[in-house]
Structure formats: structure tokens, C-alpha cells
Structure 1
Amino acid sequence: MAQPIVEVRNLRKTYGDKVAVDDVSFAVQPGEIFGILGPNGAGKTTSVETLAGLRHADGGTVRVLGIDPQRHPEQVREHLGVQLQEAALHDKITVGEALRLFAGFYSRPADPDELLALLDLTEHADKQFGRLSGGQKQRLSIALALVGNPRVAILDELTTGLDPQARRSTWDLVERVRATGVTILLVTHFMDEAERLCDRLVVIDAGRVVAEGSPAALIDRLDDDRTVVVRFGTDDAARAREALDRLAADHPDVSRVEELDGGRGEIAVSGTPRVLFALVPALAEADLVPDDVRTVTRTLEDVFLAVTGRTYAPQEEAESALVAEGARS
């Protein structure tokens, strides 16, 4: 395996008596989209701001391209692009002016026109920042993170507040950026975003890493239970429930049958990976034809529940409030 392009070991950061990051470790390989996933307030932004040299760690080590950004932030700056959640520009500055301004901060900047084309901003080059849509502002923030020709880009909560179409468009852009050779650290509290984009990730909760691996591997590590949901019309729902209860009592591959909320005649049948093979013959024998059959796909939210014992709650205490409290203390 190649030498990691980013290494974080036993990172710790506190604000007064509040522990924001507690013994966080991970390594990022060149060319990856690496996710840092967790609820708001979990310690994600503090971790990457420490990595970028914007905050000082209270313990542990961080390295970017083998360089300590805590001691030599100026050496890292040329190789690291950062798009932070709270970043904003003056409303009057245009897209093109912003890119040219930021390009002047670097010795070997990217071509602003090429970045405009890459991020679908060419036709908006003369538009003022204050007149951009949310999706356009996010595309500009990515362009500004890339204008220094970085080898590593940190993208922090870049789709927060965007509508579904703008989110999907932004995901496509992130993949296009990775295709240019940039390693990406993607900070997000959206499970679907991490599952779609990330090669590997860490799940952080309450300042600690609670899971690490590829999305598929993390999901595969869950238990082997499978669930199939069948939906019946009103006339067949009661008869179906009776037949499926008998199936659960008699068949070793079926462990649980339950009616789902919503009043739509849906029944969840859970058991071993062979639960579907048990379900279909039972329905045929009872002369029951469901209106719909679907398997329930495991997600990263199930991983979070498994490792923390609680449901995923991204609206927990915001990390920005924690930072503000630390600044006041």
C-alpha cells in the first residue's frame, strides 16, 4: 500500500472542559475520497481544521504529505485546498474576480478558466457572489479550494442546505475533481452522501472514531439478518398476517413478522439470508399475491445504530456552538 498522504494519530482537542476530539486516528491514501462522517457536533470540523493548521491540537500528531501542519502550516498551504462550511465572500465580488484573487495567493495556481469549465461556472464568471444560487456558491467554493493546484482538498459539509438536484450535481462534481488526481477529505453528516462518494470513511461520534472502513465493508459487518417487506390490499392483509405468523413459528429461516406503521398493509418479515426463499412458497400455498415486495437494504445509518446503540441524530448540538463556547471561555 502507498504511503498515506494524510495521517492523523491520537488527535485530541478541547475547548475549556469540553472535549471536541478525543483520540481520533485515521490515514488517507492518495487518490481517495475519504469521508469523515458523523452528527453535527461530533468533532468532524475541528479534526480537519487541526489538519489544515487552523487550530492547534492538544495532543496527538497530524501529517499532510509527511509535513506537520501544526509546526509548518506554510509548507502545507501550497498543497492543501480547503472549503469550510462557514466560508463566505463579499456579495459584490464576481465569480471570476474571486478566482483571480485567490489564484494570486499561490506560486503555481490553476488556470481560473479551466476551473470555471470544470465546475460548470463559465457562464457565471461575471455574476456577483450575492446573486448566485446555493448550488452555484458551493461550486465556487470548490473552485476556490482547487485554485492553488492542491494535492489534497478538504470539503466540509458542502451540500448542506442544497435541494436534492443541487446535491446530486455537487456529488458529480466531487467525483470529477477526484478524477483530476486530487485526494479529497469529505466532511459530512449525510449518510447517503458518504455512501455514494466515499472509498473509505471514519464515523465519528462524540469526538471518537466508532467505525472505519469502506461503506460496503461496514454494512457487511452487520449481522446476517435480512428483512423483506410485503404489501397487501385491505382484503388480504389480515389473512396474510396469519399466514406469515404461522411461517415465523414453523420455519427456521424466519425469526420475526411485524406490521409496519402507516396503515398501508405492509408487513416486514425478517430472518436469515434465506428468508425470501421461505416467504415465497408460503404466500403461494396460502394463495396470497402481494401488491409489492421489496428487500430492505442496509445503510450506514444501520452501522451507526449498531456501533453506538442509538439512532443517528445529525441535529445534535452544533459544533459551531461548541467552538464559540470554547472561544468565550
Structure 2
Amino acid sequence: MENKQSYALVFGVSVFDICGFTDRHYRCNDSNPGKVKTSFGGVCRNIAESMARVGVNTKFISILGDDETGTRMLEHSNVMNYDMSNSLIIKGGNTPTYMAVLNEQGEMVSAVVDMKIIDEFTTEFIDSKSEIIKGSEYMILDADRPDLVEYIIKTFNGHTKFILDPVSASKAEHVKHLINNFHTIKPNRYEAEIMCGFEIKNEDDLRRAGKHFIDLGIENVFITLDEDGIYYNNGKLEGKIKANNVKVVNVTGAGDSFVAGIAHGYTNQVNLVDTVKFAIAMSTITISTEETIHPEMCYNLVEEYVENIDWTEIEYK
């Protein structure tokens, strides 16, 4: 009998990011000297690439146009070693694109978002990927399409373990009635407040929120607290872990790499505390560069960071 290799599955949107940075005072209705950077983004795509970079066997179901950008994204996934072959390719469609202009202070002054294509994701398409979903050890979702999240959970509950990155407080609102179906959730403080129904102002509130989620049947809860670190709770172990003296260049992508670190821990049967440290180390590497994914992100670099970070650890009794 064939021994199939286990894999983690990511489902969500890929985005082509175009960012223009002006050199000096931004002038509206004019051409501004500056620099333009392009990159492949999207929360789920970032998670998938980061997982692959640290050795997780990763499949990623996304949606792309049959344009040049979509072709380049598929080629990039092959280079980075995550499998996008089950993605939906829309003939004549535009791959999701985000174009922003930032002024000399780094503040966004204008943006155009082309995401119409994601409406082409349908329950029929989900059904056509049922074997891939059922075969996954873990399935990572964000809250971009709450209707599809609900359909996936109701259709495949019991076949795989679901991990949720809510992405934003407004999107968390639309999936909070589903969270008892998740194995793992990774909200930030504000998303957690939406999903538990009360404000998290202090440590007591934080622990109360953690207990609320565990009591719902969620196995692992990770609440990101920005510079205050990560709160974790699995019903037996509860605490906070923080990396000290962290260099911050760009926080974009920190949450995505954290989820990838969680997936690495799960697929390698790493204990909870070491999983959190590995995930924090991935985030620490990510925010040390302008890029959304550090160009040198890999398992060995993360392990080096884990060893060298000055950790603050609190374990609640």
C-alpha cells in the first residue's frame, strides 16, 4: 500500500502588490519621482510560502487569472516548493492586484484594489477539491470569504483540523459564530475581543478570553499582543512569551509568518512552548526587513534566532 506523505493545506487569495514610494513631498494630480516595488502577497499566499521555506509539505489552493502575473506566481510557487496545482485559474481574469502610493512619511495616500476575481470561488469548486481537503492534516483559512469558510467547515468537519487567521476585526465578526469548529485560532487582541464579546484591557481579561475559547472546544489559542508577545492556551498549558530587543523595520507579514511557524510545529510534533518560540522567531525575522517575507527565511535561520533571542516567558499556574 502506498504511503502518502502528509501535508498542510492553505486556502485563500494570492495578491500581486505594487507599491510606489515618493522621494519627497507628494503632489496630487502629478507625476511624483520615487521608487516602485512589486511583490507577491496575500495573507494565505504569504503563509504558504513561509511554511514551505521552513520545510512544511505545503499545498495551496488559490485563485489566479490566466495573465502574466498569475503565470509568474505559479512559477514562483514551484521555485519555493509549495504546490499550487489545485488552484482555480480564470480564463481572461485578472490576478488579484493591490496598487498603493505612499508619501515620503510612508503613509498611504492612494490605492487601487482589483479583487473582483475572488467572487469566482464557488462551493462547486470547493467540492471538486474534496479529496485534497480531506487528505490534509491541517487546513489554514482566513476570513476573506466568510461564506466559503462556513461551507468548508460544515462540509469537511472531522476530515481535517482547521486553523483560523481572522485577518481583521471586521472580518472576525463574520466568522465568530464558527470558531468552535477550529482546532486553532490566531487572533490579535482586537480580533479576540470581537470573537469573545468583551474588551481585553489587562491580563485577567486576556486569560478570561483564553478560557472562553478553550471552553468552546478550540484546542489551541494564540493571541498576538504586538510588542507584548504571544498569549497561548491549550487548556493545560497557558502563558505568555515575548522576544526582547527586536529590530522592527516593517511589521507587514509578521502574523503570516507566525501562522507558518505554528504549522511547522504541528506537522513536526513540536511541543507547544517550542512551537510558539519557533513561530515568534519567524515573525522576528520577518519584521527585520522591508520585505513581507525575508528573502533568506529558512529553517536553519529560524533555529539560529530561537537560540539567540532574549526571551521573556510567563507560565500561568
Q: Which TM-score band (shorter chain)?
A: under 0.3
Q: TM-score, normalised by structure 1?
A: 0.24
Structure with greater Cα Rg: 1
